[in-house]
Amino acid sequence: MKPAAFDYVRAESLDEALEVLRTEGSDARIIAGGQSLMPMLNMRLARPRVLVDIMHLEELRKIEVQRGRIAVGAAVRQAELLEWPPLRRELKLLSLALPWTGHAQTRSRGTICGSVAHADPSAEIPLTLLALGGDIVLRSAKRLRRVAARDFFLGMMVTDRNDDELIEAVQFPAADGRRCAFREVARRHGDFAIVACAAVATDRGVRLAVGGVADIPVAREFDARVGDALEDALNAFAWDLDARDDLHATARYRRDLVRMIGRELITEVMQ
Amino acid sequence: MNLSATAGAPTGRPWIGQSIPRVEDPALLSGRARFIDDVGVRPGALHAAILRSPHAHARIVSIDAAAARQARGVVAVLTGEDIKALTASLVVGVKAPLECWPIAIGRVRYAGEPVAIVVAESRYLAEDAIDLIDAQYEALPAVVDPVRAMSAGSTLLHEGFPNNIASDRSFKYGDPDRAFAEAKRIVTVSIRYPRNSCTPIETYGVVAEYDPGEQAYDVLANFQGPFSIHAVLSRALKVPGNRLRLRTPPDSGGSFGVKQGVFPYIVLVAAAARATGRPVKWIEDRLEHLTASVSATNRATTLRAAVADDGRILALDWDQVEDCGAHLRAPEPATLYRMHGNLTGAYDIPHVAVRNRVVVTNKMPTGLNRGFGGPQVYFALERLIQRIAVELTLDPVEVISRNLVPANAFPYRTVTGALLDSGDYQTALARAVDEGGLAELKARRDKARAEGRIYGIGFAAVVEPSVSNMGYITTVLTAAERRKAGPKNGAQATATVSIDPVGSVSVHVASVPQGQGHRTVLAQVVADVLGLTPGDIRVNAEIDTAKDAWSIASGNYASRFAPAVAGTAKIAAERLAGRLARVAAAGLNTESDDIILAGGFARSRRNPDNRLPFSRIAALSHWSPGALPDDVGHTIRETAFWTPPELTPPDEQDRVNSSLCYGFIFDFCGIEIDRVTLQPRIDRYVTMHDCGTILHPAMVDGQVRGGFAQALGAALYEEYAYTPDGSFLSGTFADYLVPTVAEVPEPLILHMQTPSPFTPLGSKGVGEGNCMSTPVCIANAVADALGVADVELPLLPARLAETVRGAEAAAPPGKHNTPKGDRRLSGKGGARVAAAPEQVWSMLLDPATLAAVIPGCRGVKRISDTDFKADVTIGVGPVKGDYRARVTLSDLDRPNAVTLTGTLDGALGFGFGKGRITLAPAADGGTSVHYRYEAEIGGKVASIGGRLLDGAARVIIGQFFSSLARQAGATAAESKITAAWSRLCRWLGGRR
Amino acid sequence: MTRLSAEQRHRVRFTLNGDAVDRNCEPRLLLSDFVRHEIGATGTHVGCEHGVCGACTVTIDGRPARACLTLALQVEGCEIRTVEGLSDKQGRLGVLQSAFRRNHALQCGFCTAGILMSLDALFAQNRQAGETEIRDVLTGHLCRCTGYAPIVKAAMEAAAEMREETRREVADA
Ligand code: FES
Ligand code: FES
């Protein structure tokens, strides 16, 4: 279980990192905290030709609050954001979800943007970003663009990021006192979610986002329905996610959790 | 000479029985311990990596290692044939015409079986070369289910095992037929016990060297014994036993039986050392460990009981089908026979019938694992007890207590031959019920149920065997076969106590501890005998078969340390003490009867001031042997061998005393099942143990807690899972779920001490009991909570959904359920292509298009009009691999439909898929393409990436169709591509 | 731009338990292999190499981290601590180590180094850490021998002892 050989670039500027991506395309991988990538390297599931380490780029180490959005740079570690004093106030949902992301020993290295880039359908950070209606800021040598989370995740570990782009930051809309709730079911604490649900109050009702079921995190708006109407809407949502059986859970069990936890969170947030 | 154990401690209190700090700990706590990967190797040593089969069952067509041999740092690549030339087959535990190799020869029989071994300058380089080996396979049908394996139509794994059955024996003890014929009630349970393993955190390691001059091997391995395996190894390596020096490192990172299974790798690595003429080191990695080390057996059991109205069991009828995996490796089928003497558990049951079948399947071979045979047997027996209680509407505790062996019956001979040494099961049960608060627990259950919560209570009573009879395994042979083979029995333990020129004392044993603190306990035992402190004694528990006293029974298994090894050390120390007393008596002018060794002195009992320092007496044999009384000889070193006479071979009627001691355990627990997650949570767990005399209370509790945690894992989380086609699904610690601190509650541990009359210290084994009692105790609680008869381990919450909730809410119109439990990938989809059907059709049949359309395709070769070959690189996110692809087109219906059948294989695994594509003209002149597919994936990616597999495969298939669309679009209308492409991407990938 | 090529060894500098390390390694070398096999600090163990078991846990700049999920080159300029740094050169055990010994919180000891490092980092960061915090960091570790209860107990005792020490120091000052 040792990685295959790769070159290593310790990027000293953002341009340098982007230049490697431009010339090497999908044979280059960005390494930030490495907590998703390293297991894949060790198992030789991933065999990039070159790794670009961006953790020394000061400009990516920032958490910035600007115009109602909180931008988290690509080199910000999960533990750092968790310890960011305004987190509970500004991003309550994330403060609820982050402790579920891996363990203290991986949050200490893993980055927020790295988890988004990896696009594991069970991961809490992409789910939260989607639930809050956040954006991903992508930069290549040629341009800078912003993609909404709902357009970013395309499939299992597949995103809208082009091979020459890196995620420079992700942006979360700051909370304006909206109610939110998070709940996750995993086999053991710290495991990948079997079902993770995040709910956020919106102008029209509640946005419920679900991870761990479909190939990407999926969000749906629920208006102020109650009773049978809500049950039916949740049931339709559960089925639409196209759950599968795997080693740890069945499709039916996942749908059950979506229906039950969905109802619980929606009720909680709507109160 | 007074040898009572009170002699030693200054307080007058014996060291034995005290929880003194462990001598092992300082090194372990500060990083100075020496595990196998810490001890270093000679300069020039090489490192091995192993290529393993991605298939569960396949013929090896070819292995091309040319590129690997040329790779940087590679010294050798050895395949099965190379190993075969250097070694002989491992012995097989039953009489059958077949061979057993540590590496595949011509055929692979389980996913993960070694296929080639690379020896290189570093592990990194060896793994690089592994990737360059091109092994081609022809897949064979896999046999996974043990019961189906026996059916006539099943593929045979080994020609020597007809119907895949390695052994089929039936036994009758007493008159079970009559008991069943006359029985008022018959209660039956059918059990499928799953596969799991205790997975020590340190994996296997082997360092081997060969000296051609002496034709001798020197092997260091974290092997745990039994050293009967040494005979298997030397035979396989084709050297006499004295030319295989097998050593163990000072520390070992846990074993729980599992490190017995390193032995086939010892052969492999030793052969590689011989082939290369250099020392070779191999440290197993976790993926290798989970796929291909050793598993406990899975077992299909039907157990019937003839029962009286009051719940008394009159007879048992066991039908056990034991699944030993792909090869019957020594000492299998021992898992099945270890419990043979105590198949009646803690109960007094006069008639027993048994049918034992051993089958082979395409799974990892099995071997030692904590509990060894106990979890499987007691799961059936104690589920049966619970069912008897339910079916006869009796209290389970009543049923247990009515059937227990009476307290005045010890030593008690079971009908199958065990001699239960001592105990008072009724008192133990009564104390547990009382001190464990059963009444209060019942009240909790009633309250919980009244509140609508799901709550149940489970029980289990178990006898825990320890110190295996080395002959129990021969019960698998008929009496006639045994007569021919010669008797096998006993359990020879050894211990050496020695004294150096300054009178300090060393102890050596061949017990190979893996964390149990043997060195501490031995220091306590010997300190008590010699009147010293444990700190005065230095203990070495490494083994070196070239220098140390050992026997086939040496090693760390069958919970033999406390009853056998510690007792043997006591015997050796006592012999030395007896001689030292005579030396002291001469020096103190008294008789040896008057001497006691205490507080670091030898002194006269009558006149305590008349004394000499221990060291002075002890050293005399070195400095002035002539000064010793004539009958003393020397006092430099004493090696004791001890084997209990009670361990006799199986008799003509197949009765066998399979173990020397039998501890008793009575457990009960309360479990609540969460209504939303369906996760069972242990509310309270009580475990009562009688393991005879306790030598070190904290260590005994440590063994109980450790066994409990592993058993909890087996009950709720852990499984070595296979698909019906033999793919292994539990290849990482993210899939094989070992409980963490969050999952393991603390049990209430209670003790009773009924010394064993058969062991020198009165102690019995204690380390394995909870692995036997806890899984079924938990299952019984869940059965009670849910009111169900069938409980399958591990208790996956998802599996309980139907039971608790009944049928699921119907799908909205248009949605349908995927077939349950079907892990095959299937899917369908569609795309709009801006080209006419005819155009799309000709593209599909054109290799050039295929090359452009298949992601990462390099060079399509057309074999025939409908047959293509290509090399492809497929990537999903960061996961990228090279594969050989083969695509066949069939059922051609131009230009409307075609079937694509494809196979892929590469370093990450293999896949097989079939898809039907239909083309229909669309209104805008384009084509709407629809596809439906089914795929199966196996190999490395299935075992380590199972969770991501479905989605990844969908992405790949999606990529195929979207680039097909793009390609078609490119020839038709350039402008629409981008929009169509991104829509498609979104649609295929995101579906929303 | 410096691109460090795959098959060559490149310089890396950091401190290990306070001592300067200045050595060379290939880009792909894992930190776990580097400290164990290049430096010889074998107290850090390897149990899974995919980030789950926790045996390889060290601290990097004061935070607990998986050495098996870290490249040696990534710790350029960092401060690394391993189990070898917990006792003094005479081998005297620290408060946490002693509590582990007292409570029989280890058996084979293979998981122990990683657990000690996680707890050491926790207590350094949070003197008030109680059972919840202790249990939370322990979920990042697998132990197959002990059943965890004595580990939790040892950690709580050590925490209490350290708090008491701090209290006394404050009182003395
Ligand atoms: S070896 Fe690093 S977490 Fe297991
Ligand atoms: S003490 Fe052995 S794994 Fe923890």
List, for residues C66-117, the tens digit of each pLDDT value. 999 999 999 999 999 999 999 887 888 999 999 999 999 999 999 999 999 9
According to the per-residue pLDDT averaged within each range, which of A65-69, B300-304, B802-806, B808-812 is highest? B300-304
Tokens 């799953």: give the residue: B194
DSSP state of B797: G
Q: Which of B464, B516, B460 is nearest to B687 (CA)?
A: B460
Query: What is the 3-state secondary structure of B346-401?
Result: CECCCEEEEEEEEECCCCCCECCCCCCCHHHHHHHHHHHHHHHHHHCCCCHHHHHH
Answer whether residue B9 shows pLDDT above 70. Answer: no
Whether B22 is covered by a domain: the verdict is yes
Does one domain contain both B768 and B831?
A: no
Q: Which of B575, B642, B585 is nearest to B612 (CA)?
A: B585
Tokens 């008991």: give the residue: B179
B91 close contact with C: CB closer than 8 A? no
Cα(C111) to ligand 1 centroid in Å equals: 10
**Element (DSSP H or E) covering residue B124:** helix B123-130
- pLDDT at position B957 is 74
| Averaged pLDDT for residues C125-150 | 97
Sign of CA dihedral B116, B117, B120, B126: positive
Q: Work out the percent of chain A whose per-residue pLDDT is above 70.
A: 100
Q: Which ligand 2 atom is nearest residue B254's CA? A: 2
Give residue B923's pLDDT band: very low, low, confident or very high (50, 70, 90).
confident
Residue type, C107: Q
Whether C1 is covered by a domain: the verdict is no
Does one domain contain both B666 and B627?
A: no
- pLDDT at position A77 is 98
Give residue B971's pLDDT band: very low, low, confident or very high (50, 70, 90).
very low
Distance between CA atoms of B948 and B945, rounded to whole angstroms? 5
Give residue B673's pLDDT band: very low, low, confident or very high (50, 70, 90).
very high
Does one domain contain both B589 and B725?
A: no
Distance between CA atoms of B541 and A20, rounded to whole angstroms? 56
- pLDDT at position B969 is 62
Report which protein residue has its CA nearest ligand 1's atom 3. C51
* Domains detected in chain A: 7-53 (3.30.43.10), 61-173 (3.30.465.10), 180-270 (3.30.390.50)
SS3 label, residue B514 = coil
- pLDDT at position B820 is 52
Using DSSP bridges, classify how beta strands A50-53 and A180-185 pair: parallel, antiparallel or unpaired: unpaired
**Cβ-Cβ contacts under 8 Å, A190 against chain C:** 139-140
List, for residues A212-241, the tens digit of each pLDDT value. 999 999 999 998 777 899 999 999 999 999
**Cβ-Cβ contacts under 8 Å, B24 against chain C:** 109
Q: Where are the alpha helices (DSSP H) in chain C?
A: 31-33, 95-102, 112-125, 131-138, 149-172
Residue A5 CB coordination number (10 Å):
17
Distance between CA atoms of B631 and B614, rounded to whole angstroms? 20
Higher pLDDT, B166 or A227: B166
B461-473 core/surface letters (b: 16 or more CB in 10 A; e: else): bbbbbbbbbbbbb
Q: Which ligand 2 atom is nearest residue C109's CA? A: 1
The average confidence (pLDDT) of chain A is 95
Answer whether residue B433 shows pLDDT above 80. Answer: yes
Distance between CA atoms of B884 and B869, rounded to whole angstroms? 8
Cα(C52) to ligand 1 centroid in Å equals: 6
Give residue B975's pLDDT band: very low, low, confident or very high (50, 70, 90).
very low
Whether B333 is covered by a domain: the verdict is no
Higher pLDDT, B340 or B961: B340
Cα(B579) to ligand 2 centroid in Å equals: 41
Among all residues of chain B, which has the CA nearest to that of C152? B741
List, for residues C42-59, the tens digit of each pLDDT value. 999 999 999 999 999 999
- pLDDT at position B548 is 96
**Cβ-Cβ contacts under 8 Å, A105 against chain C:** 54, 57, 64-66, 118, 137, 140
As for the ipTM of the complex, it is: 0.98
> For residue C103, what are the domain limits?
6-172
Residue B106 CB coordination number (10 Å):
11
- pLDDT at position B959 is 73
Backbone angles phi, psi at A221, to 5 degrees: -90, 135
Distance between CA atoms of B241 and B236, rounded to whole angstroms? 11
Does one domain contain both B634 and B758?
A: no
- pLDDT at position B817 is 58
Q: Which of B253, B247, B249, B283 is nearest to B265 (CA)?
A: B283
SS3 label, residue B62 = strand
Higher pLDDT, B863 or C50: C50
Chains linked to C by 3 or more Cβ pairs within 8 Å: A, B
Who's near A222: CB < 8 A, 6+ residues apart? A205, A206, A207, A208, A230, A233, A234, A266
Q: Which ligand 2 atom is nearest residue C107's CA? A: 1
Give residue B981's pLDDT band: very low, low, confident or very high (50, 70, 90).
very low
Q: Which of B743, B906, B948, B957 is nearest to A39 (CA)?
A: B948
| Averaged pLDDT for residues B314-329 | 98
SS3 label, residue B6 = helix
Give residue B734's pLDDT band: very low, low, confident or very high (50, 70, 90).
very high
Distance between CA atoms of B943 and B721, rounded to whole angstroms? 9
| The total number of residues written for chain B in this structure | 992
Chains linked to A by 3 or more Cβ pairs within 8 Å: B, C
> For residue B458, what are the domain limits?
376-466+660-802
Angle in degrees, CA B556, B560, B562, rounded to 5: 110
List, for residues B930-952, the tens digit of each pLDDT value. 888 888 888 888 887 777 777 77
Give the domain CATH number at B9: 3.30.365.10
**Are C25 and C34 spatial neighbours (Cβ–Cβ below 8 Å)?**
yes
Answer whether residue B8 shows pLDDT above 50. Answer: no
Q: Which ligand 1 atom is nearest residue C48's CA? A: 4
Give residue B902's pLDDT band: very low, low, confident or very high (50, 70, 90).
confident
- A204-210: long-range pairs with CB below 8 Å, 24+: A205/A270, A206/A265, A206/A266, A206/A269, A206/A270, A207/A131, A207/A133, A208/A131, A208/A237, A208/A262, A208/A265, A208/A266, A209/A127, A209/A128, A209/A130, A209/A131, A210/A127, A210/A237, A210/A241, A210/A258, A210/A262
Give the domain CATH number at C59: 3.10.20.30
Cα(C5) to ligand 1 centroid in Å equals: 26
Cβ of B706 less than 6 Å from ligand 2 = no
CB contact under 8 Å between A7 and C60, yes or no, is: no
Last residue of a domain, one of B769, B802, B835: B802
**Are B779 and B383 spatial neighbours (Cβ–Cβ below 8 Å)?**
yes
CB contact under 8 Å between C83 and B286, yes or no, is: no
Tell me which residues of chain C, numbers 42 to 101, contact chain B at a CB-CB cutoff of 8 Å.
42-50, 52-53, 55, 82-84, 86-87, 91, 93, 97, 100-101
Higher pLDDT, B839 or B117: B117
| Averaged pLDDT for residues B739-745 | 98
| Averaged pLDDT for residues B269-275 | 98
Whether C39 is covered by a domain: the verdict is yes
DSSP string, B588-620: HTS-GGGEEEETTEEEESS-TTSEEEHHHHHHH
Higher pLDDT, B875 or B471: B471
CB contact under 8 Å between C69 and A106, yes or no, is: yes
| The total number of residues written for chain A in this structure | 271
| Averaged pLDDT for residues B909-932 | 85
Last residue of a domain, one of B642, B674, B696: B642
- pLDDT at position B992 is 28
**Are B93 and B336 spatial neighbours (Cβ–Cβ below 8 Å)?**
no
Judged by its nearest atom, the ligand closest to the C-alpha of residue C117 is: 1
Does one domain contain both B843 and B791?
A: no
Angle in degrees, CA B708, B713, B719, rounded to 5: 145
CB contact under 8 Å between C65 and A190, yes or no, is: no
C6 close contact with B: CB closer than 8 A? no
Does one domain contain both B907 and B845?
A: yes
Judged by its nearest atom, the ligand closest to the C-alpha of residue B285 is: 1
The average confidence (pLDDT) of chain C is 96
Number of domains forming the structure of chain C: 1
Number of domains forming the structure of chain B: 3
- Give helix B228-236 / helix B263-276 axis angle, nearest 10°: 30
Judged by its nearest atom, the ligand closest to the C-alpha of residue B287 is: 1
Whether C94 is covered by a domain: the verdict is yes
Mutate to test the interface with C, among A1, A8, A16, A51 (most CBs of C within 10 A): A8
**Are A202 and A221 spatial neighbours (Cβ–Cβ below 8 Å)?**
yes
Cβ of C158 less than 6 Å from ligand 1 = no
Judged by its nearest atom, the ligand closest to the C-alpha of residue C53 is: 1
Q: Which of B945, B826, B957 is nearest to B878 (CA)?
A: B945
Give residue B823's pLDDT band: very low, low, confident or very high (50, 70, 90).
low
**Cβ-Cβ contacts under 8 Å, A5 against chain C:** 6-7, 26-28
Both tokens assigned to B575: 């012999």
Distance between CA atoms of A155 and B987, rounded to whole angstroms? 10
Does one domain contain both B632 and B665?
A: no
- Chain A positions with Cβ closer than 8 Å to C: 1-12, 16, 19-20, 31, 34-35, 38-39, 41-43, 50-51, 53, 55, 79, 99, 102-106, 108-109, 188-190
Give residue C146's pLDDT band: very low, low, confident or very high (50, 70, 90).
very high
Give residue B72's pLDDT band: very low, low, confident or very high (50, 70, 90).
very high
Angle in degrees, CA B438, B440, B443, rounded to 5: 110
Give residue B980's pLDDT band: very low, low, confident or very high (50, 70, 90).
very low
CB contact under 8 Å between A108 and C76, yes or no, is: no
Higher pLDDT, B497 or B819: B497
Does one domain contain both B881 and B955?
A: yes
SS3 label, residue B277 = coil
Both tokens assigned to A89: 């106030």
DSSP state of C35: I
Tell me the pTM.
0.95
List, for residues A140-184, the tens digit of each pLDDT value. 999 999 999 999 999 889 999 999 999 999 999 987 778 999 999
Does one domain contain both B524 and B626?
A: yes
Does one domain contain both B610 and B704?
A: no
Both tokens assigned to A45: 């599931």
Mutate to test the interface with A, among B677, B738, B805, B956 (most CBs of A within 10 A): B677
- pLDDT at position B984 is 36
- Which one of A153, A236, A253 has the shortest CB-CB distance to B801? A253
- pLDDT at position B982 is 38
Mutate to test the interface with B, among C50, C53, C89, C145 (most CBs of B within 10 A): C145
Answer whether residue B883 shows pLDDT above 90. Answer: no
Give residue B973's pLDDT band: very low, low, confident or very high (50, 70, 90).
very low
Does one domain contain both B923 and B851?
A: yes
Using DSSP bridges, classify how beta strands A166-173 and A135-139 pair: parallel, antiparallel or unpaired: antiparallel
Q: Work out the percent of chain B whose per-residue pLDDT is above 90.
A: 79
**Are B157 and B362 spatial neighbours (Cβ–Cβ below 8 Å)?**
yes
Does one domain contain both B884 and B980?
A: yes
